[in-house]
Amino acid sequence: MKTLKSIVLMAAFAFAVTLVGCTGKDGAPGATGPAGTSGANGTNGVANINSQTFMNQGLSYVSANSDYELTMNDAAITQTVVDNGEVVVYTQPSSNPSGWTVLPATLGGTSINITFAVGGVIVQSANATSGNLNFRVVVIPPSIIKNYPNTNWKDYSQVKAIMDAQGNHNGYVN
């Protein structure tokens, strides 16, 4: 019994020393450790808005879908953009050559829609459209969306202002 009492007293003493002990001034800082190894390079991404303009385009009838379509290839539309970025398509109808209208829209009673996937955009309409439509495909990577959180990406003037600020004039005309 004395042995058990001694063990309990020694444990209590060790516990008390742990709680109270080791006070005083801190010692001098230690030497700087060696530099760590460099991490692997990340995947290259798109740092700027990419814009491509398709001039004087018309939609062609696609019997398999019973609609009119125009496919526009754009290598800037990557899986990263599809998953976390934005693809906006604007049109410039001949009735308004000075402005850009975001799609989907109804122009002259004709509804025009878009779909996009890696590598391109499809413009679709149930009705024939007159030729001579201009289209602007604007690809916005996730980093730009993060850096400009209050931007209305459907508003061409806001998008153009960001492209101008970046000095990014690839593929667009006013």
> Does the pLDDT of residue 26 top 50, yes or no?
yes
Q: Which residue type does 55 have?
A: M
Burial of 13 (0-12, 13-18, 19+ CB in 10 A): exposed
CA nearest neighbour of 147 among 55, 4, 59, 48: 48
Which top CATH class is 50-166? mainly beta
> In which band, very low, low, confident or very high, does the pLDDT at 151 lie, cut at 50, 70 and 90?
very high
Residue with tokens 């007293």: 9
> Does the pLDDT of residue 155 top 80, yes or no?
yes
> Does the pLDDT of residue 98 top 80, yes or no?
no
**What is the per-residue pLDDT for 173?**
47
Backbone angles phi, psi at 53, to 5 degrees: -110, 135
**What's the rounded mean pLDDT across residues 102-109?**
88
> Does the pLDDT of residue 64 top 70, yes or no?
yes
> Does the pLDDT of residue 25 top 90, yes or no?
no
**What is the per-residue pLDDT for 140?**
93
Beta strands across the sheet bearing 101-102: 50-57, 133-140, 86-92, 101-102
**What's the rounded mean pLDDT across residues 83-96?**
85
- The residue among 32 and 143 whose pLDDT is bigger is 143
In the DSSP assignment, the letter for residue 48 is S
- The residue among 71 and 24 whose pLDDT is bigger is 71
> Does the pLDDT of residue 20 top 90, yes or no?
no
Average pLDDT, the chain: 79
**What is the per-residue pLDDT for 17?**
47
- The residue among 171 and 138 whose pLDDT is bigger is 138
**What is the per-residue pLDDT for 171?**
47
